[in-house]
Amino acid sequence: MRPAKPTPPDSTRPEYLAGLFEFARDLGLHRIGVTDAAVLDRARPELERRRREGLSDTMGFTFRDPVRSTDPTRAVEGARSIIVAGLSYHLDEDPETDDLPPLTARVARYARHDFYTPLRTALQKVALRLRADGFRAVVFADENDLVDREVAWRAGLGWFGKNANLLLPGAGSWFVLGSVVTDAQLQPAAKPVPDGCGACRACIDDCPTGAIVEPGVVDARRCLAWLVQKPGVCPREFRGALGNRIYGCDDCQESCPPTVRLADRVTGRVDIGGTGAHIDTLELLTSTDEHLLERFGRWYLAERNPRWLRRNALVILGNTAAGIDDERVGRVLRQYLEGDDPLLRAHALWAASRIGRSDLVALVDHDADPLVRDELVALGSA
């Protein structure tokens, strides 16, 4: 005979929540909060507006179904509360950038190591504890079902910076966020944190592509963090600004006074090592797809295709290889210019032209592919 379901304890008691919070902190989660599971009525119209105005570009994620991603009860039937946590990804050893070897590609901090698995693992343990008490509890972190920043804001974890990142008081924004959506009735204690940006607009002014078009509003069509993920031709107008970024962009956080000033207050740790901050661009371009998927597979790669990393790396070569006396540069560009992928040929052509290698540009003078022809026209070579 199936054992009777345990009668759930009274989760509305403050001690019950305090016990959960203490448990969560002992698991290494740096900040914890709780909110109700009401519809995210501020985020929904914002998601719809971004789609309507093209600000979300071709992104899917939470923009694909705003009604779903802003209704926690769609994520967990009967949801009543959401426990939200922040895990720092700020590492003491974050290396400086000025003494880098040439032809180095840069990885944004949140992607240098795997911070999401430790976050999800800890949240899973919180969910298991709730389930052991007879409640339904499901973890969401960086998934399409829930707008993580909005629930974190509602749970009093931090304020929305003008860069749209959530800044946690006394710590800044180097945090990944995740939640446990549950049908347990928990007593939301905290109020949303008041704005801490004031008149500061450093992020808006320092964004290399002017992607922060309003306080709290990022135009993804200009945001390098999206453009390195977005499939297709990298927009010419932003290739220079992309610099040596292979994945993600930290500029709007590195220019943020509270995040810079407070970063060391809460430091993360590396449970699951990743690529680290810097990658050898030529090594990436001469690796097999299997090797690239093995090494970078936890990143968002559209269509699970490392082709977009190769595209980014070719743009980085165009931005960093000028004047570099390394015959490998020519050899690699030739490999792509003679390769069978027209999109990568087009970006290799752009890079060759940018570093003044007309000898390499000549290799595709008679290329019939429209993407390469377009590039030749744009370069004034056709």
Within 10 A of 170 (CB to CB), how many other CB atoms are there? 12
Residues 207 and 172: their CA atoms lie apart, in Å, by: 18
Classify residue 54 by its DSSP letter. T
- Map residues 244-263 to x or -, x wherever contact with ligand B12 holds by CB under 6 A: ----xxx-x-----------
Q: How far is the CB of 143 from ligand B12 (least distance, A)?
A: 6
Q: How far is the CB of 177 from ligand B12 (least distance, A)?
A: 4
| Residues paired with 337 in a beta bridge | none
When asked if residue 296 is in the footprint of ligand B12 (CB under 6 A), the reply is no
Is the alpha carbon torsion for 306, 271, 90, 62 positive or negative? positive
- Map residues 141-160 to x or -, x wherever contact with ligand B12 holds by CB under 6 A: xxx--xxxxx---------x
CA distances from 319 to 179, 187, 246, 268, 322 (A): 39, 53, 12, 32, 7
When asked if residue 285 is in the footprint of ligand B12 (CB under 6 A), the reply is no
Closest CA to 37 of 251, 149, 181: 181
Residues 275 and 61: their CA atoms lie apart, in Å, by: 24
When asked if residue 59 is in the footprint of ligand B12 (CB under 6 A), the reply is yes
| Amino acid (one-letter) located at 334 | R
Q: Which of 94, 142, 271, 280 is catalytic?
A: 142
Q: How far is the CB of 63 from ligand B12 (least distance, A)?
A: 7
When asked if residue 360 is in the footprint of ligand B12 (CB under 6 A), the reply is no
Q: Would you call 233 exposed, middle or buried from its count of C-beta atoms within 10 A (0-12, 13-18, 19+)?
A: middle
- Give the residue at shortest CB distance from ligand B12: 216
Is the alpha carbon torsion for 166, 168, 169, 171 positive or negative? negative
When asked if residue 47 is in the footprint of ligand B12 (CB under 6 A), the reply is yes
When asked if residue 177 is in the footprint of ligand B12 (CB under 6 A), the reply is yes
Q: How far is the CB of 74 from ligand B12 (least distance, A)?
A: 14
Closest CA to 87 of 164, 163, 16, 166: 166
When asked if residue 169 is in the footprint of ligand B12 (CB under 6 A), the reply is no
When asked if residue 352 is in the footprint of ligand B12 (CB under 6 A), the reply is no
- Map residues 122-141 to x or -, x wherever contact with ligand B12 holds by CB under 6 A: -------------------x
Distance, CA of 126 to chain centre: 24
Instruction: Record the tokens describing residue 266, joined without a space.
Output: 């809460």
Q: How far is the CB of 326 from ligand B12 (least distance, A)?
A: 29
Question: Nearer Cβ to ligand B12, position 50 or 345?
Answer: 50
Question: Nearer Cβ to ligand B12, position 20 or 218?
Answer: 218
> Is 219 labeled as catalytic in the residue annotation?
no
| Element holding 32 (H helix, E strand) | strand 31-36
Q: Which residues are catalytic?
A: 142
Q: Which residues bind ligand B12 (CB under 6 A)?
A: 42-43, 46-47, 50, 59, 61-62, 108, 110, 141-143, 146-150, 160, 162-166, 173, 175-178, 215-218, 220, 223, 225-226, 229, 248-250, 252
